[in-house]
Chains A and B, each alone.
Chain A
Amino acid sequence: MMKITIAFFIAVASAALFSTTLYAQTVFYVQSVKAKVLSGPSFKSKVLGEVGKGFKFVSSGRDGNWVKVRLDTKEGYVSALLLAPHPPIQRAGVIKAEQGEIKQGIRRRASSYTSAAAARGLAQDDRRRLSREEKADYPGLEKMESFTLSDAELRRFLEGGK
């Protein structure tokens, strides 16, 4: 019985040590505009502080959808929904790729779909779907992409306005 107890405590101690070591190596960065650090793994917990996008946390554990972090000297929790294991990525690369060559490529590809479908011998049902239901509307897509909101508009809306 004594040996079981000793084995149990050794196991728990080594597991805890191992967990801490591995968790300590996990870094998370805030991806949202702001992130609250709470005293427990629940939105009802006390707010210990708030950090901005790009803030780096070294995680010491996890509880469900919550990441255990340190803020100054306090231990707290941040929703995993707001974090990623890499720094926030700038949007610039995407925008650059969306312009010019990519758009040309998409226009070029539109006509290639028919030959692709023919090449692999689509069933008649699939061909009907491609030609009728699933036709691509690129002008519609560009209209959707061209819609913009100003920062002022969004700020007014966030403050409860229309």
Chain B
Amino acid sequence: MTNQRAMPAYLCVLLLSLLPLNALAGDDRAWRERASAGATEAETVNEDINEEVNFGREVAARLIGRYGLSSDDQLTRYINLVGQSLVRNGNRPELKYHFAVLNTSDINAYASPGGYIFVTKGALEKMQDESELAGVIAHEMTHVNEKHVVRELGIRATEGSAVSGLARLIGGGTETARIAFSQAVEKALDMLFKTGYKREDEVQADKGAVTLCAVAGYDPGGLVRYFQRINTAKGKATEVLDKTHPAYDARIALLKETMTKEGIESGAYKSFKERFSAALKQTK
């Protein structure tokens, strides 16, 4: 009887001890599998990055095609300055990030793989300081940094990928490859406009955003304030946003919990209200 009780206790503890190990090992397992596929590690990774960037370019071109870019160079400069302030603190130094304002009154922001980040004019008009803008950009950057679209659609350079073989596409590739690429672009657009990211990816993007803001010196509470404000702005301007994102009450609660857990709920963080107001005033 005693033995029968002792064994489960041993096994339970052992199994429990294994859980975090699996989670940890998962981080770099995929990368190592990729690296061991034949090419050298650097070549493999570079090919994947090229594939990601070129896929992202297609999606970004469609986003611009849908809404158009703001022609305001000062505003573009400002959003690039805020964006690059965050990029320095990110974990994808291999990407060249680009930031732009979309010419629409819709309240939203978008990320395309490879480092293409967009904020709409409608969203900017709802913001009150730079930390809010930084929070929104950091959220989108986290989608890119964590490769949410890339992983969801399996975009990589190796043969096993549905969208693989950019070289085949360029150098007179097969119709099948072109169709696969085109369909993947459409799926990505569906994610952005209709279905949204997976819930766990949105959670990761929210958590990553406040942390990235804090590391960059921006008030992480900026994203909370922005969410609270647009939570009350229901209508056509938030139609796509509401359709593709979880409810704001839950997101706000999660952000606050994350900020407390990470020790960033207070501190010497900046919101740059005056600089934000001055930048947006110049554009009007």
Nearest chain A CB to B109's CB is how many angstroms away? 15
Contact, CB under 8 Å: B77 / A149: yes
Additional pairs, 8, CB under 8 Å, beyond known A81-B211, A102-B170, A149-B81 = A3-B6, A8-B13, A11-B13, A19-B20, A91-B94, A113-B178, A137-B62, A144-B69
With the chains together, A98 CA to B53 CA distance in Å? 8
Can you list, as one digit per residue, whether each of A138-158 has a CB less than 8 Å from chain B (1) or not (0)?
A: 101101110101000110011
Any A CB within 8 A of the CB of B250: no
Q: Name the distance in Å between B90's Cβ and chain A's nearest Cβ.
A: 6
Quick check: A79 and B215 within 8 Å, CB to CB?
A: yes
Partner of B211, one of A65, A88, A106: A65
Complex contact B69–A143 (CB within 8 A): yes
Is B263's CB under 8 angstroms from A45's CB? yes
Where the two chains meet, the residues of B that have a C-beta atom closer than 8 Å to any C-beta of A are 2-3, 5-7, 9-10, 13-14, 16-18, 20-21, 23-25, 27-28, 31-32, 41-42, 45-46, 49-50, 53-54, 57-58, 60-62, 64-66, 68-69, 76-77, 80-81, 84-85, 88-96, 98, 100, 116, 166, 169-170, 175, 178-179, 181-183, 186, 189, 207-208, 211-212, 214-215, 261-264, 267, 272, 275, 278-279
Contact of B93 among A4, A85, A91, A133 (CB under 8 A): A91
- CB of A45 to closest CB in B, whole Å: 7
Bound state CA distance, A95 and B61, in angstroms?
18
Q: Mark A67-101, 1 if CB is under 8 A from B, else 0.
A: 00000000000010111111011110111011001
User: Are A32's CB and B170's CB within 8 A?
Assistant: no
CB distance from A137 to the nearest CB of B (A): 4
Q: List 21 A-B contacts (CB under 8 A).
A: A3-B3, A7-B10, A18-B18, A26-B28, A31-B92, A33-B88, A42-B261, A44-B264, A85-B31, A89-B45, A89-B46, A89-B94, A105-B170, A115-B175, A126-B186, A133-B66, A134-B186, A136-B64, A136-B65, A140-B61, A144-B98
**Interface contact B13-A12, CB-CB below 8 Å:** yes
Which of A8, A90, A97, A117 is in CB contact (< 8 Å) with B54?
A: A97
Q: Is the CB of A32 within 8 A of B89?
A: yes
Cross-chain contact B24 with A26 (CB below 8 angstroms) = yes
Q: Are A154 and B6 in contact (CB under 8 A)?
A: no
**Chain B residues with CB under 8 A of A137:** 61-62, 64-65, 68-69
Q: Once the chains bind, are A84 and B21 in contact (CB under 8 Å)?
A: no
Contact yes or no, B27 A105, CB < 8 A? no
Whole-angstrom CA separation of A58 from B275 in the bound complex: 41
Question: Size band of the A side of the interface?
Answer: 35 or more
Chain A residues near B279 (CB-CB < 8 A):
162
- With beta carbons under 8 angstroms apart, the residue of A16, A83, A86, A135 that contacts B41 is A86
On chain A, the residues within 8 Å of B50 by CB distance are 93-94, 97, 102
Q: Does A51 contact B (CB under 8 A)?
A: no
Whether the Cβ atoms of A106 and B54 lie closer than 8 Å is: yes
- Whether A88 contacts B80 by the Cβ 8 Å rule is no
Contact of B214 with A43 in the complex, beta carbons under 8 Å:
yes
Q: A44-B263, A141-B60 are in contact. Are A8 and B49 (CB under 8 A)?
A: no
Known: A8-B10, A134-B65. A1 touches B17 (CB 8 A): no
Residues B93 and A88 in contact, CB atoms below 8 Å apart: yes
A101 to B172, CA, bound (A): 12
User: Is there contact, CB below 8 Å, between A10 and B10?
Assistant: yes
**Residues of B contacting A12 in the complex (Cβ-Cβ under 8 angstroms):** 13, 17
Residue A53 interfacial (CB < 8 Å): yes
List residues of chain A with CB within 8 A of the CB of B32: 85
Question: Nearest CB to that of B16 among chain A residues?
Answer: A15
